[in-house]
Structure 1
Amino acid sequence: MYWGCTHVSRHVKPAPHEGDVRFTFGVHPKEHVTDHGLAPYYAMDSLIKEWGDRWETEGKPAEEIQFQGETWATCFDYSKSGLDPWDNPDFELEQVREFQFYFVSKDSPTYEGVRADRDKRVKGGTITVRPRWPDLRSDGEPVSVPDYGAPYIDVQVQASNIPHETYLTLVKRVMDAYGIHSRYFDHPHPDSHIDDLAYYVRLKRSESGPLYAPDGPIARAHTLIQGDRSGYRKHVENHTKIPGYYVTATVEDEKAGELVRGHSLGKELKHYYPEEPQQYAPDEAPYHPKFEVSYQTSRTDQTVRWDDLEDARRELEETILNSLEWAGLATTAASDAFVEFDPYWDVVNTHKSRKLVKCPLPEIEDEQEHRVMQLWGDMTEADRDVTELLLTDGGKVSPQEAAEKTGNTYRTIREVTNRMEGLIRHTYGELELESKKIQQELLKRVRAAGDRFEQEIGSAAMELADVAEERARDAWSRLRREYAISSVDRDDCRKLLKVGYQPADREEARNILREIKTTYQEHVESIMAGVHVVVTLADGTRRRVRDLEQAFQKSVESQQREARHNQQAREIFDFEAWKAAGCPPADEWDTG
């Protein structure tokens, strides 16, 4: 299946969150690059000896660095590695250690003014250095690590709220501060890889509901594209402390392309608040939730290399932007749905091209419902037996087991499987329902039919009227992106359209409102009653319009001009006429 897509070059830039990168240094396949082996590791061990008794009197070595325009506190430490010393004459160390470098931004609002290893490091992290060599052992037992036929070091960077692409620069800057040559870290081995990667946007509490709603992208991604039994399925909804407190869904790598064509990473979509959201005021960032998409190593067969960082970042950011789009939220920085006072995220647009696609979930849902309706009308008793078995059996079922449990022949089971293709999936000798959605639809019908199964099937000339209603079309999607229009369900109106773009003056506002009215009626729904629109001018003047039908009408002047010159009347936005029609706005033009 293919869903039309557009590439946008103006969209909000998600913030980097967690990151975990494993660099390999000291061996390199390119002959012109010097192999430093364990040289940086020996330099770190020497640092311990040089510091000597000062570990007891002065504490751990600490240095300040300048990085990303900020001052960072760092400190150096070590721990036992549990590895056996290398049985090689070049290795003269009696004890094998791991080395840790802690770092934290002193300019971060959460910096506590303590040594880097004692700070909570909301913006910071650790660099852990581990030695590696052929035939690596621990207590005499082999240790499973890559063997390149030569010694090397493993450098793990774990950090939060720091651009992931700067991790390598950060390593070199920290090492320089402790007198360890940065040239050792110039050329990471191609096997250097990423274990964790996450990006987020922070939305106002009042705006984020469509993301975690039962029909929102998080829940539907789980219901519609994850198989009934195979693979990994995880969906968590915890609304105990606040609506949307912790809502997640995991998408496996093999399913990622069903969300956005070309995607291949296993990932988690997550809407969440801090542990105690009630402790914060509306003008504090943690009062408002994050929407985050993170790469899941355990749900992805392929290894994401350090050199693949930009591709991985693109896929995660596209998942965020498409989820916002599918939830009716704007994807540009002009939208007032985003929290502008997050200390670790600047709400700005970026011009990196990102792919936005028409939401596939409604089409998948409609297709699956339609498929159930079609096949339900033709079901035999054997079909029903297999369906009920798959709905109630706790484990995976092979065709042979299905035959034994239903009393049908193996050949009949194969015929059922072929006949019900699209509802039942047959892979690796096992049967399962195609998705959670199909499971729910079938379960609903089986329960409703009860003993009247044959009657229900017989009367299933079933309203095969196509249930696939028209969803938001391309023209409306383009307009929403252009003017950062977010769509919100409210108690005081049927739907509120919030225009993030700020027109320069009233004339531009009139033109935009007219365009919204025309496009909305042509591509979403023809009736505008109850659809409100809020727009704010560049000077802060704000307008909420309750009824675009009444707000636009031909002026007397344009009618006279049409009569005199036999030309088409020019439609204008007439606020006074709109008021006279008995529909005053909720807000007057003001400067508030």
Structure 2
Amino acid sequence: MSRVLKCAPHEGDIRFTVGIHPSNHVTDHGLAPYYAMDSLIKDWGDRWQSEGKPTEEIQFLGETWATCFDYSKSGLDPWDSPQFQLDQVREFQFYFTSKDSPKYTGRRADKDKRVKGGTITVRPRWPGLTSDGEEVSVPDYGGPYIDVQVQASNFPHEEYLTLVKRVMNAYGISSRYFDNPHPDSHIGDLAYYVRLYRDESGPLFAPDGPIARAHTLIQGDRSGYRKHVEDNRKIAGYMVKSEVEDEKAGELVRGHELGKELKHYYPKEPQQYEPDEAPYHPKFEVAYQTSITEKTVRWSDLEDTRRELEETILNCLEWCGLATTAESNIFVPFDPFWQIENTHESRKMVQCPLPEIESEQEHRVMQLWGEMTETDQEVTELLLTDGGKVSPQEAAEQTGNTYRTIRTVIDRMEGLIRHTYGEMELESKKVQQELLKRVRAAGERFEQEIGSTAMELADAADEHARDAWSRLRREYAISVVDRDDCRKLLKVGYKPSDRYEARNLLREIRTTYQEHVETTTAGIHVQVTLADGTRERFRNLRAAFRKGDTTYQKEQQQNDRAREIFDLEAWREAGYPPADEWEPG
């Protein structure tokens, strides 16, 4: 199984339903842990004033964590039940922060920034819950229970429940109450990221990069939730993000189904940091978005959710020509919350669908444009200029056509016009842009646009042949970088043990590139770093293998001498044939 980069966990918001038996839905521990927390307040007594809030230290994930207990008013009415003996209803908070984190300030946990840490909030629940006499909408399981919300960042999300139990034990509250959270326990927020060097991340937030193109190509013209933000005022790529709703997620990566945000961003004031500090360099993050995902994502879905978010990150890197393994030197190794390493967990890597989607939409526009009737053009211009959603009936009234005529237009222009829930819209932002181009240009430029689109369609049809090149790039962590001093620079993250291995690698790169990308390698530079730190750059991959070169002849002589030293048969059997074509750049 191929190795791929393990992404870093960032923010998480998970709510555990505790106190209801997970199999038969009857009250298990009910409000017992809540009563224990209320007793903690009473037991602490006057010390709230003299000593401050209760604090404890715990050991978790091999680190020492500071914790703090607090409470606040909930706004809920006391439960009208004989078993509820409390005069007021409180929410309880447990703050926690890693004391071993480089961001720890030494303050009490509730006062610390908790960059690596967070909050556990405990809320009571029961049937008929009210606030100021008004009913509060919460799940009704026929008995009391507690809602335990964990909001945290920068440590593995799968450890959230373990943390809850560790904190509760520290305050004398039995962790067994939290052993079996109800299956309705769910995820409200989940995010993973990678941090790239500042000069490497440009392809991600470029106008033709995956963030912008996902918004342009797969989001509807008006339906659903559309959001794309580009803020480059402080630095290029300062905040560039797009949201992809759940029904469109599968168009980005087949099989995906979660609404998510793709985001490239820097900290609030990036100019305050130096190049040897992690925040000087940007993050690329993908976060699950509850607001644009119809289904509820359960705690039991955590592994699948993590896989989908990480696959989105890795595929976006791949589509940009950036490496997707830890051996690459494009990722920042001094991020305090991320250990750069590979994982052998299964991660789906797919061919970038965006060029094909773009080509299909351009082709569809081109195909239908020349066949448009006068009514088609009227409806199209209405959709291009109208500020809101348009129903077929409204379109009929505004264009002076019958409802049946408008329905005929919808059927004929399938692929350009989407009709859902009695409303019409253009299929995507890309379709809108293509139609606008033709409305504004038309005339002589139209045939030129047809030819250009046809060429792009042919390129997309040949995209499948690039699989071998994609596999090679993943295997050796090769990033493809556009540079002013060459056509392309191939930066190899894998570090060959010596020049012989490097030479063999270069031969493989050249052969695969010529077979699956383009036949000419002139102007294609390759940068390789050996295991001893020596960095070599080939400034012309084509010339690097010419036997007539003087440099080649010198290397041939060196290799002849090397053959006298090594047992060549043993060398070949070990999988390292003599490399006889090394040329330092």
Amino acid at match of 1:134: P
Alpha-carbon displacement from aligned partner over 1:485-521 (angstroms, at most 9, x marks no partner): 0011112222111000111111111111011111111
Q: Which amino acid aligns with 1:65?
A: I
Partner of 1:293: 286
Give the equivalent residue in structure 1 for 2:380: 387
Are 1:335 and 2:324 matched, yes or no?
no
- 1:90 maps to 2:79: no
Show CA shifts across 1:36-61 (max 9, x none).
Answer: 11111111111111100000000000
3-state SS in 1 of match to 2:349: strand
* Separation of aligned partners in 1, 2:467 and 2:103: 44
**2:537 paired with 1:539:** no
Residue identity matched to 1:496: L
Q: Aligned with 1:356: secondary structure?
A: coil
Cα separation, 2, equivalents of 1:346 and 1:461: 49
Shift in CA distance, 522/462, structure 1 to aligned 2, threshold 3 Å: closer
1:195-227 deviation line (CA, Å, top 9, x unaligned):
000000000001000000000000000000000
Partner of 1:128: 121
Q: Does 1:254 align with 2:247?
A: yes
Cα distance in 2 for partners of 1:460, 1:46 equals 75
Distance 1:34 1:419 in 2: 58
What's 2:430 paired with?
437
1:139 aligns with 2:142: no
CA distance in 1, matches of 2:224, 2:367: 27
Does 1:112 find its partner at 2:72?
no
Aligned partners of 1:33, 1:182: CA distance in 2, in Å? 20
- Displacement of 1:537 in angstroms is 1.0
Q: Which residue of 2 aligns with 1:493?
A: 486
Structure 1 partner of 2:49: 56
Asked whether the 8 Å contact 2:95–2:118 carries over to 1, the reply is yes
For residue 379 of structure 1, what is the amino acid of its counterpart?
M
Matching residue of 2:572: none
The change in CA–CA distance for 1:166 and 1:460 in structure 2 (over 3 A counts) is closer
* 1:372 equivalent in structure 2: 365
Cα distance 1:327–1:75, how it changes in 2: closer, same or farther (>3 A)?
same
Cα distance in 2 for partners of 1:412, 1:138 equals 54
The alignment's C-alpha RMSD in Å is 2.1
Q: Which residue does 1:565 correspond to in 2?
A: none
Shift of 1:33: 9.5
- Find the aligned partners of 1:229 and 1:208 in 2 and give their Cα distance: 30
Residues 398-409 of structure 1 aligned to structure 2 (within 5 Å): 398-409=391-402
CA contact (8 A) 1:379 1:457 kept: no
Secondary structure of the residue aligned to 1:467 is helix
Distance 1:33 1:402 in 2: 54
Paired AA for residue 4 in structure 2: H
Query: Hey, what's the Cα distance between the residues in 2 that align with 1:460 and 1:26?
Result: 64
Question: Is 1:275 paired with 2:264?
Answer: no
Contact kept, 8 Å, 2:206 with 2:212, in 1: the verdict is: yes
Partner Cα separation in structure 2 for residue 362 and residue 140 of structure 1: 57
Q: For 2:270 and 2:198, how far apart are their aligned partners in 1? A: 11
SS of corresponding position for 1:465: helix
Deviation, structure 1 residue 553: 2.6
Distance 1:412 1:543, change over 3 A: same
Summarize the Cα distance change of 1:460–1:347 in structure 2 as closer, same or farther, 3 Å threshold: closer
Q: Tell me, in whole angstroms, the C-alpha distance in 2 between the residues paired with 1:140 and 1:148.
A: 20
What is the 5 A alignment of 1:71-470? 71-449=64-442, 465-468=454-457, 469=459, 470=462
2:563 aligned residue:
none
AA partner of residue 296 (structure 2): T
Assess if the C-alpha contact under 8 Å between 2:25 and 2:141 holds in 1: no
Amino acid at match of 1:505: D
Change (3 A) 1:216 1:458: closer
Structure 1 partner of 2:499: 506
Identity level (%): 78
State the Cα distance separating 1:458 from its structure 2 match. Answer: 9.6
Q: What amino acid does structure 2 have at the position aligned with 1:398? A: S
Deviation at 1:460, TM superposition (A): 9.1
Note the residue ranges of structure 1 that are not aligned, 5 or more in a row.
1-7, 562-569, 579-583, 586-592
The alpha-carbon distance between structure 1 residues 82 and 290, as it changes in their structure 2 partners (threshold 3 A), is same
Between 20-29 and 297-306, the greater mean CA deviation after superposition:
20-29
Deviations 1:104-137 (A, max 9, x none): 0000001000100000000000000111111111
Offset at residue 145 of structure 1 (A): 0.6
Query: 1:239 and 1:539 mapped to 2: Cα distance?
Result: 39
Given the superposition, is the C-alpha separation of residues 388 and 183 from structure 1 closer, same or farther in structure 2, using an over 3 Å criterion? same
Instruction: For residue 454 of structure 2, give the secondary structure of its aligned residue in structure 1.
Output: coil
TM-score by length of 2: 0.92
1:409 deviation in Å? 2.6
Give, in whole Å, the separation in 2 of the partners of 1:462 and 1:480. Answer: 32
What amino acid maps onto 2:335 in structure 1? D
Contact 1:553 1:571 in 2 (8 A): no
- Segments of 5+ residues of structure 2 without an aligned counterpart are 561-576
The amino acid of 1:465's aligned partner reads: A
1:410-452 Cα shifts (integer Å, max 9, x gaps): 2322222222111111222221111100100000110113xx6
Q: Match for 1:107: what amino acid?
A: D
TM-score by length of 1: 0.91
- Report the Cα distance in structure 2 between the residues aligned to 1:289 and 1:81, rounded to whole angstroms: 39
- Structure 2 SS opposite 1:355: coil
Indicate if the aligned counterparts of 1:377 and 1:460 stay in contact, CA closer than 8 A: no
- For the 8 Å contact 2:286–2:312, the answer to whether it is kept is yes
Q: Which amino acid aligns with 2:437?
A: K
